[in-house]
Amino acid sequence: MNVVVCVKQIPDPAAPQSLEAGTHNLDRSGKLILDEADTYGVEMALQLVDKAGTGEVTVVSMGSASDLAGVRNALAMGAAKAIIVADDSLRGTDALGTAKVLAAAIRRVNPDLVIAATESSDGYTGTTPVQVAELLGLPSITFAKSISVDGSTVKVNRQTESGYDEVTSPMPVLVTVTAGVVEPRYASFKGIMAAKSKPIEQLTVADLNLDGQVGPSGARQSIIAVEAAEARQGGEIVVDDGQGADRIMQFLDSIKVL
Ligand SMILES: Cc1cc2nc3c(=O)[nH]c(=O)nc-3n(C[C@H](O)[C@H](O)[C@H](O)COP(=O)(O)OP(=O)(O)OC[C@H]3O[C@@H](n4cnc5c(N)ncnc54)[C@H](O)[C@@H]3O)c2cc1C
């Protein structure tokens, strides 16, 4: 079974962030890391291929190739190879453009299963994977909290507000996973060394025949303003005067965690 995992390299969230001069685009010229949200998909894919006993995991990414540490991290975890689409003309690409690029790259691998995270940690529109599925003509199942494969059928427990739905689909299919789907492994020293010699194919927009369809000229979304997030408010201290437990229950109920 061949599985593609979409992995996004993002600026390290622990480092200060800034915008590219004169634009509303995040400056991605510094250190890039594998989005933690995608480590769950990589782990899930590795476990499924391991269980199938055949096939491999390919990671596909669109973004800067100036720092490939994030992609190498996925290879160090156990993915067999990577495809990165990097091109200056991709600056200003919107979510649909990103989906077009990812779909074209994925098509080259012809996988049985495509996995992506529910949403990225930086852009978090949560719209890219289903657009990829549509462009590839695949069914999509979102918010998977577990995935299993039985022959040519994928079975997913799909997270809902009140529990989960059991969904099945013939493969090939695209599935988005939540953070709870599996516990991602840490790359071992052996894995890190092995990743250095694993193939990373670098493609351009022209290689994918997408000239003029992506980048700012093909974008239908534009960021018109960026504002700093509101400073965090101080928390509320509940002094237990006998009603403390009730107050906490009411609060948890109001934010729908009960
Ligand atoms: C108007 C606009 C302009 C933009 N300009 C730029 C720009 O100039 N430079 C730039 O780098 N980005 C730019 N972006 C962001 C970039 O195009 C995003 O990657 C894209 O919009 C995906 O949206 P998201 O991050 O919200 O992903 P989501 O839809 O939240 O992502 C869900 C999942 O899809 C997969 N995925 C998403 N993006 C990628 C990716 N790039 N590679 C592999 N897997 C992926 C991952 O598994 C991810 O967790 C722009 C976005 C918009 C809307």
pLDDT in tens, 51-79: 999 999 999 999 999 999 999 999 999 99
Strands 140-150 and 153-159: antiparallel
- Residues 32 and 69: their CA atoms lie apart, in Å, by 7
User: Would you say the CB of residue 114 lies under 6 angstroms from ligand 1?
Assistant: no
Would the pLDDT of 25 be above 90? no
User: Would you say the CB of residue 76 lies under 6 angstroms from ligand 1?
Assistant: no
Q: Given pLDDT bands bounded at 50, 70 and 90, which one contains residue 229? A: confident
Give a yes or no: residue 245 inside a domain.
Answer: no
Distance 189 CA to ligand 1 centre (A): 30
User: Higher confidence at residue 136 or residue 13?
Assistant: 136
User: Would you say the CB of residue 140 lies under 6 angstroms from ligand 1?
Assistant: no
Would the pLDDT of 234 be above 90? no
Residue 75: domain span: 3-224
Q: What residue's CA is closest to ligand 1, atom 20?
A: 95
Give a yes or no: residue 71 inside a domain.
Answer: yes
Would the pLDDT of 28 be above 90? no
Average pLDDT over residues 35-39: 97
pLDDT above 90 covers a percentage of the chain that reads: 74
Contacts of 13-17 spanning 24+ positions with Cβ under 8 A: 13/121, 13/122
| Best mutation site among 3, 4, 5, 8 for ligand 1 pocket (most ligand atoms within 8 Å of CB) | 8
**pLDDT tens digits, residue range 192-225?**
999 999 999 999 999 999 998 998 888 888 888 9
Average pLDDT over residues 122-147: 96
Give a yes or no: residue 15 inside a domain.
Answer: yes
Give a yes or no: residue 248 inside a domain.
Answer: no
Give a yes or no: residue 243 inside a domain.
Answer: no
3-state SS, one letter per residue, for the chain: CCEEEECCEEECCCCCCCECCCCCCECCCCCEEECHHHHHHHHHHHHHHHHHCCCCEEEEEECCCCCCHHHHHHHHHCCCEEEEECCHHHCCCCHHHHHHHHHHHHHCCCCCEEEEECCCCCCCCCCHHHHHHHHHCCCEEEEEEEEEEECCEEEEEEECCCCEEEEEEECCEEEEECCCCCCCCCCCHHHHHHHCCCCEEEECCHHHCCCCCCCHHHCCCCCCCCCCCCCCCCCCCCCCCCCHHHHHHHHHHHCCCC
Domain with 78 in it: what CATH number? Answer: 3.40.50.620
Q: How many domains does the chain have?
A: 1
Average pLDDT over residues 165-175: 98
Structure tokens of 181? 């789907």
Q: How many CB atoms lie within 10 A of CB 34?
A: 24
Give a yes or no: residue 63 inside a domain.
Answer: yes
| CB-based contacts of 228, cutoff 8 Å, min separation 6 | none
Give a yes or no: residue 81 inside a domain.
Answer: yes
Give a yes or no: residue 254 inside a domain.
Answer: no
- Angle at the Cα of 11 (from 9 to 15), degrees rounded to 5? 150
> How far from chain centre, in Å, is Cα 213?
22
The per-residue pLDDT for 80 is: 98
Would the pLDDT of 108 be above 90? yes
Would the pLDDT of 7 be above 90? yes
What is the chain's mean pLDDT, rounded? 94
User: Would you say the CB of residue 174 lies under 6 angstroms from ligand 1?
Assistant: no
Would the pLDDT of 177 be above 90? yes
- Residues 23 and 29: their CA atoms lie apart, in Å, by 14
